[in-house]
Chain A
Amino acid sequence: MTRYLVRRLLGMIPLLIGISFLVYALLNLVPGSPTDRFQFNPSIKPADRERIKHQMGLDEPWYKRYFVWVEHVAQGDLGTSFTNYSPVSYRLKQALPNTLVLSFSSLIFALVLSIPIGIYGAIHRNSIFDRVSTIISTAFFSVPTIWLGLLLIILFSVKFKEWGMPWLPSGGVRNLRGGSNTWDYIKHLILPVFTLGSVQLAVWMRYIRSSMLDVIRQDYIRTAQAKGLHERTVLMAHAFRNAVLPLVTLVGLTIPELFGGALIVENVFGYPGIGQLTIDSLNTNDYSVAMACVMIFAVLTVLDNLIADILYGAIDPRVRYD
């Protein structure tokens, strides 16, 4: 196990180097530079712009700068932002917790709802509950995240307020006028979490239902029932564990998608996370911040694949690492 872990962790290094090289190349081959924002500033002459470029080191070829970047990152220095000269690590520290809270709340929301609904639907197959949940899952499967988010804002923030009902805030992480507390924080999370989680909820619900249906037809379930075990013991101890097994891999593979979705949801709800930071930094050619954001996404993705593999082994004793 330890050997496997070490090998996998070592294998991540070339992969991450490959990704960073590709992303750095793409970013820097983009026409435009962080000094573009001085272009229409009458008090900054073209010569000054060249000077600023030189001071930032942007007149060096990009592949030379890449090695400088790698050297610095290896020493734990992510660089400074090209637009407001604050340390990149500081900007990440502000944004990353928000994104993590948003994504993992959505993950938990989707899991907590999808597992019982899926299992109940499989056990009571073709019941009204099963049919309704299947229809809802089919309907939510194709919903565009952006549209869902906007419709929720229209309903819960605009219309509910018009109708004089308790309404939810349309964006941000907390009430900027003060009076911010935990409930206020949660109130700001409800709509984004629902928006981000609902697609996964639909997919997982359907997945658990069908994998549970597969499992309860197996012989060993009949054996367990024939032994006279409690129906609940059979379902929870024998069926559930095997039905959830494939879900672990699926959840692992979906987490990167969740981060991608978080980027969109953050944009719709004006939620100040990594996704919003990525879009802003790309729009302003802020190479160092953009690089850090994309690499964070990449590291999370790669780590997450590893965790999914390890969890899979922990749940299924048949899997052996060597």
Chain B
Amino acid sequence: MAQQSDVANQTLAQAGEQALPAERGALDRSKLVSTPGYYRRAWRRLRKDKIAMVALGLAIFILLFSFGAPVVSMLTGHSFDVGDYSKVLAPVGTPGYPFGTDSNGRDILTRLAYGGRVSMMVSCLTVVFALTAGATIGSVAGYYGGLIDSILMRLVDVIISIPGITLLLLISVWWRPGPVGLSVVIAALGWTGVSRLIRGEVLSLKNRDYIDAARVSGASNARIIFRHIFPNVLSIVTVWVSLALPAYILTEATLSYLGFGVRIPVPSWGNMLNEAKDFYATSWTYVFFPGFAIYLASLAFNLLGNGLRDALDPRLNE
């Protein structure tokens, strides 16, 4: 990377020299070569990482498959909720049912797409909610410090000390939610990790000279947080998102499997697995596919997250 910017600087210098004789002091802007920015360079690094690119492709495929569920339904010619009772637990490769059928004679492939839509929606929304809450609380705690910091971080201590799954079960008993509600519930616990992460980063950033400079020139607290601190936290947040997404896919699946998550008429990968578990002795493919979908999605996002972490941390490469 250092080489590249050297080349760029050279070109810049050449451009300057050529422009000098004609018009002193004014650069010919058409000859300016811009050095690529931080994110462009990160993308270049990511593109060289084969595993991360395969993971990215897989992740995009899973997202398309899930959110394109109605299209999948059109292609297979089956709906996710109406079953054919003459074809219960059909094996893989039955004409018209490439992945077979479930215990109600419904097409597993179609249900995987619809289940994926719910699962991916829950995990994506959870990330959004947890990030909003965690970023706000973490940056407020880190930026203002003092009493606010102590109170908020003790709250984080309390929540972290309760094993997540039991608390999630508790809240889900209280409020049997739909997909959006479920993501609020998971996010109600998920914000703690990212808030600690952001608090730490803000703590180290807020005493830098450029923040003092901004404050001296009269920037408000809100402006400092959003314009000066936020862009610097963005890269760790990106990595957090890509690693939190697979974690939430697993959480949603677990809750729905235990019967505390998305409720049955709406398919999700977790409750499909729950329905399938009673038939493990008769049709192993029925159990295999929903779990495999969860596995693929979580694997793809985890590998992508690892790649992103390497790509966004230039110290590793330069």
Chain A residues near B (Cβ < 8 Å):
15, 18-19, 22-23, 26-27, 29-32, 138-139, 141-147, 150-151, 153-154, 158-159, 256-257, 259-260, 263-264, 267-268, 278-279, 282-283, 290, 293-294, 297-298, 301-302, 305
Kindly identify which residue among B161, B171, B253, B290 contacts A15, using a CB–CB cutoff of 8 Å. B161
B294 touches A147 (CB 8 A): yes
- A142-B161 contact, Cβ under 8 Å, with A147-B273, A154-B280, A264-B254: no
B230-267 to A contact mask, C-beta < 8 Å, 1/0: 00000000000000001000100110011000000000
Looking at the complex, which of B60-68, B71-79, B204-212, B296-304 is the stretch in contact with chain A?
Answer: B296-304
B132 CB to nearest A CB, Å: 22
- A23-B162 contact, Cβ under 8 Å, with A147-B292, A147-B295, A282-B170: yes
Residues of A within 8 A of B303 (CB): 138
A154 touches B287 (CB 8 A): yes
A30 touches B258 (CB 8 A): no
B258 touches A142 (CB 8 A): no
B166 touches A158 (CB 8 A): no
Cα A139 to Cα B300 with chains together (Å): 10
Kindly identify which residue among A144, A151, A260 contacts B166, using a CB–CB cutoff of 8 Å. A260
Residues of A within 8 A of B273 (CB): 146-147, 150
B273 CB to nearest A CB, Å: 6
Residues of A within 8 A of B166 (CB): 260, 263, 278, 293-294, 297
A19 touches B158 (CB 8 A): yes
Residues of A within 8 A of B288 (CB): 151
Cα A139 to Cα B55 with chains together (Å): 13
Indicate whether B174 reaches chain A with its CB closer than 8 angstroms: yes
Give the 10 A-B residue pairs with the shortest CB-CB distance, closest first.
A147-B291, A142-B299, A142-B298, A260-B165, A30-B174, A297-B163, A18-B158, A260-B163, A154-B284, A144-B294
Chain B interface size, under 10 / 10 to 19 / 20 to 34 / 35 or more: 35 or more
A298 touches B246 (CB 8 A): no
Kindly identify which residue among A19, A141, A146 contacts B161, using a CB–CB cutoff of 8 Å. A19
- A298-B162 contact, Cβ under 8 Å, with A138-B303, A150-B287: yes
19 CB < 8 A contacts A-B = A18-B158, A26-B171, A30-B170, A30-B174, A31-B174, A142-B299, A144-B254, A144-B291, A147-B295, A151-B291, A154-B280, A154-B281, A264-B165, A278-B169, A279-B169, A282-B170, A290-B170, A297-B166, A301-B161
Cα A29 to Cα B302 with chains together (Å): 37
Closest to B172 in A: A282
Which residues of B (259-318) have their CB < 8 Å from a CB of A? 273, 276-277, 280-281, 284, 287-288, 290-292, 294-295, 298-299, 302-303
Apart from A294-B163, A301-B161: 7 A-B pairs, beta carbons within 8 A: A31-B174, A144-B253, A146-B273, A150-B276, A151-B288, A263-B166, A297-B162
Which residues of B (120-173) have their CB < 8 Å from a CB of A? 154, 157-158, 161-167, 169-171, 173
State the main secondary structure of chain A at its contact with B.
helix
Cα A297 to Cα B284 with chains together (Å): 34
B115 CB to nearest A CB, Å: 13
Cα A297 to Cα B161 with chains together (Å): 9
Chain B residues near A (Cβ < 8 Å):
154, 157-158, 161-167, 169-171, 173-174, 246, 250, 253-254, 257-258, 273, 276-277, 280-281, 284, 287-288, 290-292, 294-295, 298-299, 302-303
Residues of A within 8 A of B167 (CB): 23, 26, 294
Residues of A within 8 A of B276 (CB): 150
A287 CB to nearest B CB, Å: 11
Cα A150 to Cα B161 with chains together (Å): 29
Cα A141 to Cα B292 with chains together (Å): 14
B170 touches A27 (CB 8 A): yes
Cα A145 to Cα B294 with chains together (Å): 11
Q: Which of A142, A143, A158 has the most CB of B within 10 A?
A: A142
Residues of A within 8 A of B246 (CB): 142
Residues of A within 8 A of B254 (CB): 144-146, 264
Cα A27 to Cα B175 with chains together (Å): 11
Cα A61 to Cα B220 with chains together (Å): 46
B163 touches A264 (CB 8 A): no
Cα A302 to Cα B162 with chains together (Å): 9
A288 CB to nearest B CB, Å: 14
Kindly identify which residue among A260, A282, A298 contacts B173, using a CB–CB cutoff of 8 Å. A282
Cα A142 to Cα B169 with chains together (Å): 22
Cα A260 to Cα B247 with chains together (Å): 14
Closest to A300 in B: B163
Cα A31 to Cα B176 with chains together (Å): 11
Closest to B276 in A: A150
Residues of A within 8 A of B174 (CB): 26, 29-31
- A301-B299 contact, Cβ under 8 Å, with A147-B291, A147-B294: no
Residues of A within 8 A of B164 (CB): 260
Q: Which of A27, A153, A282 has the most CB of B within 10 A?
A: A282
Closest to A199 in B: B250
A142 touches B165 (CB 8 A): no
Kindly identify which residue among A146, A294, A298 contacts B253, using a CB–CB cutoff of 8 Å. A146
Q: Which of B161, B169, B288 has the most CB of A within 10 A?
A: B161
Cα A257 to Cα B163 with chains together (Å): 7
Q: Which of A15, A146, A260 has the most CB of B within 10 A?
A: A146
Residues of B within 8 A of A305 (CB): 161
Closest to A18 in B: B158
A141 touches B302 (CB 8 A): yes
B125 CB to nearest A CB, Å: 20
Residues of B within 8 A of A144 (CB): 250, 253-254, 291, 294-295, 298
Cα A159 to Cα B174 with chains together (Å): 40
A284 CB to nearest B CB, Å: 10
Residues of B within 8 A of A283 (CB): 173
Residues of A within 8 A of B169 (CB): 278-279, 282
